Amino acid sequence: MSSIAAKAQIKKAESFKTEAEAKLKARTWFQSSTEQKYEDAAELYSRCANAYKVGGLFVEAAEAYGLASDLHLDKLKQTSEASRAMVDAGACYKKASATTEAVDVYKKAITLLCDAGRLTNAAKLSKEIAEIFESEGQPVEAIECYEQAGELYSMEDSKSHASSCSAKVAELSSAALDPPDFLKAAGLYEELGKNCLDSALLKFNAKGYFLQCVLCHLANGDAIAAMQCQQRFQSMDYGYGDSREGKFCADLIECVEQFDADGFATVCFEYDRVSKLDAWKTSMLYKVKMTVMDTTGGGGGDEEDDDVDLT
């Protein structure tokens, strides 16, 4: 938008704001008139917010949405409209990179949405907060919000969305926390794999989650737990043992048990040639490699996750 058009929108926003303030100052003698005054003021603040947003002033837009929300909630007792205005305010704060304010507003909206039984909407907001925390390097807070989102999705029987939240919790628990919580992640990956086996459409995804579970146990330095999981997965999913993931896990466990660093590197290389290792798997395998190297006396210094050498 051109600067001239933006300035016109900002001028319009300020006009709406002035009009809303005048509405609120006006005296009324009847209850119906008072309610109408608040309705009109809330509408003017919403129009003010929209104009500020179009003009590129996102913080001012968020503040105007907040004023509209306050009127809907405190004066008119309209929780649905109040939560909608809060969500709009949060989106504007987020656009302005005012993430602390965005999170605060979103949390207030979640409370209203839960009270109104709109759990799916509340779950979406909780997930959005989690994504904000994750992007800002706050894994503990992100995990908490992903867990909340997953619980809310589960209450609405939205299994796929709940599973995606559990997967994020497992990912962050194993790769972002310091120290990592490998046991929590392993348990979540195993549960996700089991859930896949209950669905004809998703059963082929189970082996991927089972692989992640085994990697978590190996990264935790527990080859015995990894082997127990491997055996359990083979009994639950008869195709797992012959799958690329199942064979990869079996070979990794054998290398770890034999303290075979060279064999471990070869197994990783061969698997990566066919199924490219993503960043999470590479990070976990590097941690497994370090446990083997430490045991054989060949441990090296720390390496950055984006420059990991598994050979």
- Cβ atoms within 10 A of the Cβ of 130, count? 26
Locate tokens 């904000």: which residue?
132
Domain boundaries, the chain: 191-311
The pLDDT of 19-28, averaged and rounded, is 88
Residue-level pLDDT at 297: 59
For residue 91, give both structure tokens: 């989106």
Residue-level pLDDT at 15: 97
> pLDDT class for 301, splitting at 50, 70, 90?
very low
- Alpha-carbon span 137 to 105, nearest angstrom: 20
CA atoms within 13 A on the CB side of 189: 26
CA distances from 124 to 27, 91, 134 (A): 41, 13, 15
Contact 114, 83 (CB under 8 A): no
Alpha-carbon 12 to chain mean position: 37
User: pLDDT tens, 221-276?
Assistant: 999 999 999 999 999 999 999 999 999 999 999 999 999 999 999 999 999 999 99
Contact 205, 211 (CB under 8 A): no
- Alpha-carbon span 42 to 39, nearest angstrom: 5
- Alpha-carbon span 115 to 118, nearest angstrom: 8
Number of H helices, E strands in the chain: 14, 0
- pLDDT value at 311 more than 80: no
- Alpha-carbon span 242 to 263, nearest angstrom: 20
User: pLDDT tens, 82-128?
Assistant: 999 999 999 999 999 999 999 999 999 999 999 999 999 999 999 99
Q: Which DSSP string corresponds to 11-70?
A: HHHHHHHHHHHHHHHS--SSHHHHHHHHHHHHHHHHHHHHHHHHTT-HHHHHHHHHHHHH
Where residue 117 falls (left for φ over 0; alpha for ψ -120 to 50; beta otherwise) is left
- pLDDT value at 65 more than 50: yes
Output helix, strand, coil percentages for the chain, rounded to the nearest 5.
80, 0, 20
Contact 9, 51 (CB under 8 A): yes
| Sequence letter at residue 264 | F
- Alpha-carbon span 211 to 200, nearest angstrom: 19
Contact 303, 286 (CB under 8 A): yes
- pLDDT value at 295 more than 90: no
Calculate what percentage of the chain has a pLDDT beyond 90: 87
Burial 215-226 (b: 16+ CB within 10 A, else e): bbbbbbbbbebb
SS3 204: helix
Alpha-carbon 239 to chain mean position: 32
Burial 198-211 (b: 16+ CB within 10 A, else e): eeeebeebbbbbbb
SS3 75: helix
- Alpha-carbon span 45 to 88, nearest angstrom: 12
Average pLDDT value for the chain? 93
CATH class of 191-311: mainly alpha
Residue-level pLDDT at 13: 96
